[in-house]
Amino acid sequence: MKIGAIAGITFKEAKRDRVLYLLFFFAALGIVASRVLALLTVGDRTKIIKDVGLASISVFGVLMAILIGTGLVYKEIDKKTIFTLLAKPLHRAEFILGKFLGLVLTLFVMTAAMAAIFLVLVYVHTLKIEGALLVAVAYLFVELVLITAVAVLFSSFSTPILSSLFALGFTLIGHLSWGLDLVVQKMTPGLGRTLVRVLATVLPDLENFNFKTEVVHGLPIPPGIYVSSLLYGLCYTAFILALAVLIFRRRDFV
Amino acid sequence: MADALRIQDLRKDFRLGFIPKTYKILRGITFAVREGEIFGYLGPNGAGKTTTIKCLLGLIHPDAGTIEILGRSYRSPRARAALGFLPENPYFYDYLTAREFLSFTGDLFGLDRDEKAARIARLLALVGLERAADLPLRKYSRGMLQRAGLAQALINDPKLVILDEPLGGMDPLGRKEIRDIIVRFKDEGKTVFFTSHILQDIEMICDRVAIIVGGRIVRAGALRDLVSERVLFTEAVVAGVAPGAFAGLGESVSVQGDRVLLRLYDESQVDGVLDLVRSNRGRLLSLSPRTETLEDIFVETVTRT
């Protein structure tokens, strides 16, 4: 109930943010522009539309999560609205979870809207409803949920600009960290290899949620991968949120 | 009578700056607020009043000491379930209307829909915001925001109400209304703990006060014990007598036209002035003895500390 109230007010606040609509506009523009790009490209035009469309949803979804998420908790502290909230019988953990869920709800609505535009465009081009594309979008959303948790974590102790940089860094590292597994394979056993292996384990691997290539090219995906990717996303999100609560509980609001 | 709020040896330091320097804000605060009383917490700016309030609301973690709210530790959210709080300069979500904001705060206390609607209607009437209830808070004046803040502090029908500068920014009529509301709380059996810079208001409605200076409680007790009924001086306004005639009779504070304002420090001076007025066929316009006020005690305490 209390988490729901905080989530509701966060959703209300997020949907008033002009940045959200600006990003949504560019995402929609990117999706629609994929059809123009397809006309200019030699090869399978449908694949270009799907590739560019999914990439638009991914890039602008991540930007929404970071740019709005990093200001969420900070704004409450900066505008001092938090004084009134935490004076109520509300655990600080409930506050953080409410903020997180409010933004997740906002991103869900935005992702659904972007996905709808994308599916309509694909339908216009192929005259088929391609449900498989929704799998890729769903896992993009799981990635957005994790990035939202990271944005809330940084927002709980840092300024929006620094938090945005940290969260963007997390996202970039998350998409490049799979390369560390290849490095481990090529290294000779020893301390260095152990260190790189630890790093590869600790750093997030956001490529776990990337099913774009498989879906666009119609490649088979073993069912176990779906489950393990979802579990990975949920566990990592829970870990990041636990960290955010731990930091937030220790804060003084002067 | 049981204590609604008990603070024991509360201490808090802040470490600020690039090379952290320690600032001792609270240096062992101890006092208790009894159930059903109106308690005033006074102090100059920076004395530690708001820090004390933030500690007892759990917004700041104290370095040492204990805080009990209605018999429970301040750390327990259940202790805050029976507590209402109005912050200094209330900051709320300005895009919400007062009705929406009260509904949101009602949700934080888990009120059901019917109960919430009834309380919102009652509170909007109590603070005089019925007609502005559906306007966004950003369109409110400071006084109206203060009223909305008071309403949200009461949504849970609290036993203990903590008000940080509730009379700040209010016009004289608004101040009187808020004072009346605070007194009504007492009649309903609620306990009120509040800070204010307006000492006349505190003197008018408080049962007991504590004065904090430099992070320490320097005076505390019942108002009637602190403020004596001893006459400090008598002020006389006299007309039709030359100011020079009062030489040796108290202190001439001001002269306006043929009016002289005198401050007289003992009764023989009062008699002397009355004789002088009679003999010179002057007029005595007013004669008012000034007893000790809370402001005198506050100024004396702060200056001495």
Q: What is the pLDDT of residues B121-172, one digit of tens each?
A: 999 999 889 999 999 999 998 888 888 999 999 999 999 999 998 887 778 8
Per CB-CB distance under 8 Å, the chain B contacts of A88 are 80, 105, 108-109
Q: Are A110 and A65 in contact (CB under 8 A)?
A: no
Nearest to B77 among A1, A4, A91 (CB): A91
Are B85 and A79 an interchain contact pair (Cβ–Cβ within 8 Å)? no
Contact A86 B78 (CB under 8 A): no
A242-251, B89-98, B283-292, B296-305: range with lowest mean pLDDT: B296-305
A-proximal residues of B, 22-81, CB under 8 Å: 54, 57-61, 77-78, 80-81
What is the tens place of the pLDDT at every residue in B31-59?
999 999 999 999 888 889 999 999 999 99
Q: How far apart are CA B201 and CA B217, in angstroms?
A: 20
Which of B108, B137, B157 to mutate to probe the A interface, most A CBs <10 Å?
A: B108
The C-alpha atoms of residue A129 and residue B291 are separated, in whole angstroms, by 88
**Residue B85: closest CA among chain A residues belongs to which residue?**
A87
Q: Side chain identity at A27, as an amino acid letter? A: A
Q: Which of B54, B77, B104 sits opposite A253 (nearest CB)?
A: B54
| Whole-number average pLDDT of chain A | 90
Q: What gap in Å lies between CA B24 and CA A195, rounded to an integer?
A: 45
Across the interface, do A252 and B60 touch by the CB < 8 Å criterion? yes
**Banded pLDDT at A57 (limits 50, 70, 90):** very high
Give me the residue from B54, B77, B87 closest to A84, CB to CB: B87
Give the SS3 label for residue A115: helix
- Percentage of the residues of chain B whose pLDDT score is greater than 90: 46
Q: Give the Cα separation of B210 and B218 in Å (integer).
A: 8
- B266-287: average pLDDT: 89
Q: Does the distance separating the beta carbons of B80 and A84 come in below 8 Å?
A: no
Please list, in sequence order, all residues whose beta carbon lies within 8 angstroms of the beta carbon of residue B241, skipping any fewer than 6 positions away.
Answer: B258, B260, B276, B277, B280, B282
Whether the Cβ atoms of residue B147 and residue B180 lie closer than 8 Å to each other:
no
Answer whether B94's CB lies under 8 Å from B149's CB: no
Residues forming beta bridges with residue B29, ordered by sequence position? B10
What is the pLDDT at residue A164? 93
Q: Taking all residues of chain B, what is their mean pLDDT, rounded to a whole number?
A: 89
Half-sphere exposure (Cβ direction) of A227: Cα atoms closer than 13 Å? 3
Q: What is the ipTM of this complex?
A: 0.83
Burial class (CB in 10 A: 0-12, 13-18, 19+), A58: buried
Give the residue extent of every domain in chain B.
3-223, 231-304
Q: Which CATH architecture has domain B3-223?
A: 3-Layer(aba) Sandwich (3.40)
* Residue A236 contacts residue A204 (beta carbons within 8 Å): yes
User: Are B54 and A254 inside 8 Å of each other by CB?
Assistant: yes
Compute the residue count for chain B: 305
CA atoms lying within 13 Å on the CB side of residue B240: 11
Q: For residue B77, give the nearest of A5, A13, A90 by CB distance.
A: A90
Residue A59: pLDDT over 90: yes
Range of the domain at A215: 2-250
CA distances from B193 to A193, B16, B150, B178, B202 (A): 63, 29, 13, 14, 11
Whether the pLDDT of residue B1 is over 70: the answer is no
Is residue B197 very low, low, confident or very high in pLDDT (cuts 50, 70, 90)?
Answer: confident
Q: Would you call B259 an interface residue with chain A, using a CB distance cutoff of 8 Å?
A: no
The mean pLDDT value for B210-237 works out to: 85
| Position with higher pLDDT, B197 vs A106 | A106
Amino acid B246: pLDDT = 83
Q: Tens digit of pLDDT for each residue in A137-181?
A: 999 999 999 999 999 999 988 899 999 999 999 999 999 988 888
Please answer yes or no on whether B60 and A88 come within 8 Å at the CB atom: no
Domain count across chain A: 1
pLDDT of residue A16: 86
Residue B297, pLDDT score: 81
pLDDT in the model for residue B8: 94
Which residues of chain A neighbour B110 with C-beta distances below 8 Å?
1-2
